[in-house]
């Protein structure tokens, strides 16, 4: 198995396990703490993602530079590593202190809790500061391992700690104290131990000469333009990705925001497949781009696109066409499932389109081109932010979900042609006719046939069996419809027959 395929498999396992834990624990959190408390947890998760913007694009630069020169250990590279490491540690300390001091008052003003006590909201905000403290240096070492393409080992480290954090958190809130603050403190403690382990492994993989650099602004001279561009993309991208949740958390009761968060959790399940493919192919594309091997870049790009489409489209089709069945199986709450089902379908459309754009985005970053993504994001922010506010005000959660789908459709329609024309000199017809449309049409046809055969919502074991069969068949036909994955499958069959 190639390194890229091994990394994809490891990332899929890690992401799938992480989401599986989240899906398994969410019904317990809702049952023990209440849907408002789950909305509070979801709000801090959004905040955690937004805080990642403060790395100012350095994370993508770090991944790219390590992928390009991680084994050379030049003095300039060592200084760059030392500077990035210092920046992440400083961010952790400064942000944690600011959150601990100011977040309780801000959260009490922003949210609209009806059943969760104000004191619990404040305590959760302070406990979240400890998570923020640890997440920054942890991000540095995790990004470093991704750049080294040590993603198999990184997932082998991460998965046990995720398990302890998730299952231990459920046991904690079940046995007491039943509070979001206690849950956050437990997760912070587990993250601290994980940080020690990941740091040690990362340092063991680097040449000794790469670990003795000096931190300083000069070390960023060769990467600051890329980092600045990535910072702009990250900021505008976060506005597009998370503004719906921020607006809903402000304008609607915390319980309704909890309903939206449940639907968003289901849609976010697609990232179980999206993120591993992106994480595996981005370093590979960066390495090939650094070698100026245009033919290999195009071959890798089209392969990655087919892999992405084959993996995410079948799951998106099943989740989008059977949202009520999926929610009922997950939550065992028919009323909540019926209320959230339309939101799931809209959010799934947007997330699937976002996933298809991930490989073109990886190609942009591999060539150090941040202008395409930044320009489109800025334009979308100016157009869609007012649209999102108006849609949420007039149509509530449904309007916000529809805006997410619209924003990703516009991004794909504009960003894809620009990427192909500027970086590949064309090839858009191949992307559509060969890489995406065959698995898309095949998987959607199977899922739609399954929906037609089961017009009424089904529940229980029969629903689990039926959805599993539809997903499996949709994936099989998608694999066979794309030539790269079809050839891989035929090769595997031939090897087994020998």
Specify the pLDDT at position 218. Answer: 61
- Distances from the Cα of 83 to the Cαs of 56, 59, 214, in angstroms? 13, 12, 7
Specify the pLDDT at position 217. Answer: 59
Question: What is the rounded average pLDDT of the residues 124-128?
Answer: 86
Residues 32, 149 within the same domain? yes
Helix (H) or strand (E) holding 212: none
Specify the pLDDT at position 1. Answer: 47
* Length of the chain (residues): 498
Helix (H) or strand (E) holding 51: helix 35-51
DSSP string, 481-492: HSHHHHHHHHHH
pLDDT band at residue 69 under the 50/70/90 scheme:
low
Does the predicted model carry a pTM greater than 0.85?
no
Dihedral sign from CA coordinates of 221, 225, 230, 231? positive
pLDDT of 404 over the 60 cut: yes
Specify the pLDDT at position 480. Answer: 93
Residue 474 lies in a domain: yes
Residue 160 lies in a domain: yes
Higher-pLDDT residue of 190, 282: 190
Residues 211, 270 within the same domain? no
Residues 169, 210 within the same domain? yes
pLDDT tens-digit profile of 139-152? 888 888 877 777 78
- Cβ-proximal residues to 58 (8 Å cutoff; 6+ apart), any chain: 84, 87, 88, 220, 223, 227, 230
Contact between 76 and 68 (Cβ < 8 Å): no
pLDDT of 64 over the 80 cut: no
End-to-end CA, the chain = 18
Contact between 213 and 37 (Cβ < 8 Å): no
Residues 323, 382 within the same domain? yes
- Cβ-proximal residues to 56 (8 Å cutoff; 6+ apart), any chain: 227, 228, 230, 231
Contact between 282 and 439 (Cβ < 8 Å): no
Q: Which domain holds residue 418?
A: 251-490
Residues 376, 270 within the same domain? yes
Tally of domains within the chain: 2
Specify the pLDDT at position 224. Answer: 54
Q: CA–CA separation, 277 vs 242, rounded Å?
A: 22
Specify the pLDDT at position 396. Answer: 81
Residues 256, 137 within the same domain? no
Higher-pLDDT residue of 81, 89: 89
Residues 281, 190 within the same domain? no
Residue 233 lies in a domain: no
Contact between 495 and 323 (Cβ < 8 Å): no
Specify the pLDDT at position 306. Answer: 94
pLDDT of 395 over the 50 cut: yes
pLDDT tens-digit profile of 219-277? 555 555 665 665 566 666 666 666 677 777 776 677 777 778 888 888 888 888 888 88
Angle formed by the axes of helices 224-251 and 35-51, to 10°?
160
Residue 433 lies in a domain: yes
**Which of 206, 222, 238 is the endpoint of a domain?**
222
For the chain, give the longest Cα–Cα distance: 68
Contact between 337 and 463 (Cβ < 8 Å): no
Residue 352 lies in a domain: yes
Residue 375 lies in a domain: yes
**Which of 222, 242, 275 is the endpoint of a domain?**
222
Residue 168 lies in a domain: yes
Structure token digits, residue 323:
């949202």
Residues 327, 433 within the same domain? yes
pLDDT tens-digit profile of 427-452? 898 899 999 999 999 999 999 999 99
Residue 237 lies in a domain: no
Residues 212, 255 within the same domain? no
Percent of the chain with pLDDT over 70: 87
Structure token digits, residue 459:
């529940």
pLDDT tens-digit profile of 362-383? 999 888 887 888 888 888 878 8
Specify the pLDDT at position 103. Answer: 77
Question: What is the rounded average pLDDT of the residues 55-83?
Answer: 69
Alpha helices for 367-459 (secondary structure H) = 371-395, 397-419, 428-430, 437-453
Specify the pLDDT at position 239. Answer: 66
Specify the pLDDT at position 27. Answer: 83
pLDDT band at residue 59 under the 50/70/90 scheme:
low
Angle formed by the axes of helices 3-33 and 151-175, to 10°?
10
Mean per-residue pLDDT of the chain: 82
Residues 140, 258 within the same domain? no
Residues 208, 259 within the same domain? no
Residues 437, 292 within the same domain? yes
Specify the pLDDT at position 353. Answer: 94
- Distances from the Cα of 84 to the Cαs of 79, 131, 283, 491, in angstroms? 9, 20, 18, 43
Q: CA–CA separation, 372 vs 229, rounded Å?
A: 10
Q: CA–CA separation, 417 vs 421, rounded Å?
A: 6
Contact between 294 and 34 (Cβ < 8 Å): no
Nearest 5°: the CA angle 361, 412, 343 is: 110
Neighbours of 114 (CB within 10 A): 8
Specify the pLDDT at position 435. Answer: 93
Using DSSP's 3-state secondary structure scheme, residue 421 falls into helix
Q: CA–CA separation, 92 vs 42, rounded Å?
A: 21
Specify the pLDDT at position 319. Answer: 94
């Amino acid at each position: 198995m190639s390194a890229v395929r091994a990394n994809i498999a490891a990332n899929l396992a890690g992401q799938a396990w992480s989401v599986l834990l989240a899906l398994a624990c969410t019904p317990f959190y809702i049952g023990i703490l209440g849907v408002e408390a789950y909305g509070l947890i979801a709000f801090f998760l959004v905040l955690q993602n937004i805080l990642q913007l403060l790395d100012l694009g350095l994370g993508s630069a770090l991944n790219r530079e390590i992928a390009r020169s991680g084994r050379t250990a030049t003095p300039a590279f060592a200084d760059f590593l030392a500077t990035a490491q210092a920046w992440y540690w400083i961010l952790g300390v400064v942000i944690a202190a600011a959150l601990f001091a100011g977040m309780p008052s801000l959260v009490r003003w922003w949210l609209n809790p009806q059943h969760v006590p104000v004191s619990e909201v404040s305590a959760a905000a302070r406990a979240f500061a400890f998570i923020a403290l640890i997440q920054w240096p942890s991000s540095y070492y995790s990004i470093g391992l991704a750049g080294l393409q040590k993603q198999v080992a990184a997932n082998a480290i991460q998965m046990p700690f995720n398990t302890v954090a998730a299952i231990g958190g459920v046991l904690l809130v079940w046995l007491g104290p039943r509070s979001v603050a206690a849950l956050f403190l437990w997760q912070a403690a587990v993250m601290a131990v994980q940080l020690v382990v990941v740091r040690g492994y990362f340092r063991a993989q680097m040449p000794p000469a790469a670990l003795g650099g000096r931190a300083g602004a000069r070390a960023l001279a060769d990467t600051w333009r890329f980092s600045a561009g990535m910072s702009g993309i990250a900021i505008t991208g976060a506005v597009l990705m998370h503004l719906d949740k921020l607006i809903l958390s402000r304008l609607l009761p915390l319980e309704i925001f909890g309903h939206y968060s449940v639907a968003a959790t289901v849609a976010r399940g697609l990232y179980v497949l999206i993120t591993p493919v992106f994480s595996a192919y981005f370093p590979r594309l960066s390495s090939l781009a650094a070698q100026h091997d245009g033919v290999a870049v195009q071959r890798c790009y089209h392969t990655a696109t087919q892999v992405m489409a084959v993996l995410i489209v079948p799951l998106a089709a099943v989740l989008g066409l059977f949202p009520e069945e999926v929610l009922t199986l997950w939550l065992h709450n028919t009323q909540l499932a019926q209320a959230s089902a339309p939101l799931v379908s809209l959010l799934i459309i947007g997330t699937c389109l976002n996933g298809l754009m991930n490989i073109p985005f990886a190609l942009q970053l591999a060539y150090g081109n941040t202008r395409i993504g930044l320009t489109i994001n800025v334009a979308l922010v100016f157009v869609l932010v007012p649209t999102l506010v108006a849609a949420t005000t007039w149509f509530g959660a449904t309007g916000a979900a529809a805006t997410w789908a619209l924003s990703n459709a516009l991004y794909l329609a504009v960003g894809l042609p620009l990427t192909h024309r500027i970086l590949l000199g064309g090839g858009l017809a191949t992307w559509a006719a060969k890489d995406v449309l065959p698995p898309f049409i095949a998987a959607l046809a199977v899922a739609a046939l399954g929906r037609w055969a089961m017009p009424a919502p089904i529940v229980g074991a029969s629903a689990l069996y039926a959805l599993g069969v539809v997903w499996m068949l949709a994936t099989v036909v998608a694999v066979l419809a794309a030539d790269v994955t079809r050839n891989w499958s035929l090769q595997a069959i031939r090897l087994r027959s020998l």
